[in-house]
Amino acid sequence: MNKDMRPKQYLYWEQLMEHLHGDTSVFFSENFVYPRQLEIHLPGNHNKACLLGCSHCAGRYFQKDLGTWELDGLEILNKLKGKVPYHIYGGAYTEPILNPYFLTYLATTKRHGNHFGIHTSGIFLDEMENKFGFLTELNRISTDNIDYLSISLDAGSSKSWQKTKKGKEEWFDGIIEGLRKAVRIREKAGKGHAIRVCYLMFEGNESLEDIEKICTIVKDLKVDSLRFSIPFAHYNQDFDTIRRYKNKKERPYSKIFEERLEPFLSKSQNERPYIFYTGPEFTDIDKFSFNKCIYSYYQITFGADGYYYRCSTTATPTMKMCRLGKIDSDIEKFHQLMSKNMNNTWNANICFSKGARCNRMGLEINLAYQDLETKFDSFNGVDCVRATNLAALSKNSLSDWRMIEIESPGFLPDGL
């Protein structure tokens, strides 16, 4: 199952190129561009970052400070007036749904014509709908299925959910009911946000029984997708430890899980729900060979502790070296920080040496940029090669680059 079965929402380099209209000349140039998205880590309920205790939580070894910066953050969103098109609500160690400003943020995102993405455990969705019509309102303000609600479910039954997430066993049924309501509301409205389910597999929730159950549930609910994957090693660990995890867990388990999942996976991306698996190759520790970071063109993160960070996986006081500045309502300062984040002199090894590392998106984008730089160098720095087009940028081989010349004569120097 080595074929890349990811739907287009998971093709991050393409998304970045689409955002930049294929213009790679902006990287580290004088020209300021807004990143594609804001990653907004709302600070839980100010007392607790999250109510669950997932063993695979990426932020397990993070210091988990919670600030009270939401009003300043909202002012920044209002002052940006929609210039950063996607706002992703999730957390390095926080659960967005707990935050009292959550719906205000979502409404602000939509008020300025942007799209939201929500990453949540889904607990309380049903209750929030029953008490104050949260799901109905979420659907009403969403404009299309580019907006999305993604539930990290990680179980096929309440028993394995409880084991996996360390929450109350009955919360599982509440999540399923919340999903059911979200789909019904969308059906009734005839439009609305996408509804995705994610399932991290490991010992405890990986049985055939659990897999069968979750596949039956998502088909019955009629959500849009179900993604299986393996948890990556926790952040804030050195690369040798992560490599040991790769060899001991990721590689052997991936093989087993792939085989076990095979009969349940969708054969075509047109299927609904679309059921797919993403393997550990998308976070492979042995791919961190680059030193330039251009993830800053994709996103900037509002950390739960009240600081802007270079990226979402470093948004914790544990990774202070990735702090860009304090969140306040000053938009000029925010512009300066975004520029500071797009800096050629920042070396990705500063992150790697301190136990930080890129997420799937950052890894894909930084590798693609490294690839681009290598090609650029092999062309002896001919500037015209940088002014390439979107179609060509998603390709990899020299022959693809020759296609640019055929499609756009004059791009390449003689002889190439």
CA–CA dist 142, 264 (Å, integer): 31
Provide the b/e sequence for 49-64 (b: ≥16 CB within 10 Å).
bbbbebebbbbeebeb
AA letter at 265? L
Options 102, 171, 295, 401; binder of ligand SF4; rule CB under 6 A: 295
Site for ligand SF4 in 178-237 (CB under 6 A): none
| Residues linked to residue 278 through DSSP beta bridges, in sequence order | 229
Site for ligand SF4 in 38-57 (CB under 6 A): none
Write the DSSP assignment of 41-93 as a string of letters: ---TTSS-S-S---TT-TTTTS-------HHHHHHHHHHHTT-S-EEEE--SS
Q: Residue 16: in which H helix or E strand, if any? A: helix 12-19
Beta carbon nearer to ligand SF4, 321 or 391: 321
362 binds ligand SF4 (CB under 6 A): yes
Edge-to-edge strand ranges of the sheet holding 225-229: 274-278, 225-229, 194-200, 148-152, 115-120, 86-89, 37-40, 299-302, 307-309, 323-326
Beta carbon nearer to ligand SF4, 151 or 356: 356
Q: Which two tokens stand for residue 258?
A: 């792939």
Beta carbon nearer to ligand SF4, 97 or 322: 322
76 binds ligand SF4 (CB under 6 A): no
Q: Which two tokens stand for residue 200?
A: 């991290």
CB of 293 to ligand SF4, least distance (A): 3
Beta carbon nearer to ligand SF4, 223 or 311: 311
Beta carbon nearer to ligand SF4, 181 or 310: 310
**Main-chain dihedrals φ then ψ at residue 51, nearest 5 degrees:** -100, -5
CB of 360 to ligand SF4, least distance (A): 11
CA–CA dist 204, 373 (Å, integer): 43
Cis peptide before 273 (omega within 30 of 0): yes
Options 348, 392, 393, 404; binder of ligand SF4; rule CB under 6 A: 348
357 binds ligand SF4 (CB under 6 A): yes
311 binds ligand SF4 (CB under 6 A): yes
Q: Are strands 194-200 and 307-309 parallel, antiparallel or unpaired?
A: unpaired
By CB under 6 A, the count of residues binding ligand SF4 is 13
Beta carbon nearer to ligand SF4, 57 or 351: 351
CA–CA dist 319, 244 (Å, integer): 23
CA–CA dist 295, 358 (Å, integer): 9
97 binds ligand SF4 (CB under 6 A): no
Options 313, 316, 318, 388; binder of ligand SF4; rule CB under 6 A: 313
314 binds ligand SF4 (CB under 6 A): yes
Beta carbon nearer to ligand SF4, 342 or 358: 358
368 binds ligand SF4 (CB under 6 A): no
Which residue, 243, 303, 395, is CA-closest to 64?
303
CA–CA dist 234, 88 (Å, integer): 21
Beta carbon nearer to ligand SF4, 228 or 346: 346
CB of 354 to ligand SF4, least distance (A): 9
Stretch that binds ligand SF4, among 105-113, 159-167, 311-319, 381-389 (CB under 6 A): 311-319
351 binds ligand SF4 (CB under 6 A): yes
356 binds ligand SF4 (CB under 6 A): yes
334 binds ligand SF4 (CB under 6 A): no
Residue ranges binding ligand SF4 (CB under 6 A):
293, 295, 310-311, 313-314, 322, 348, 351, 356-358, 362
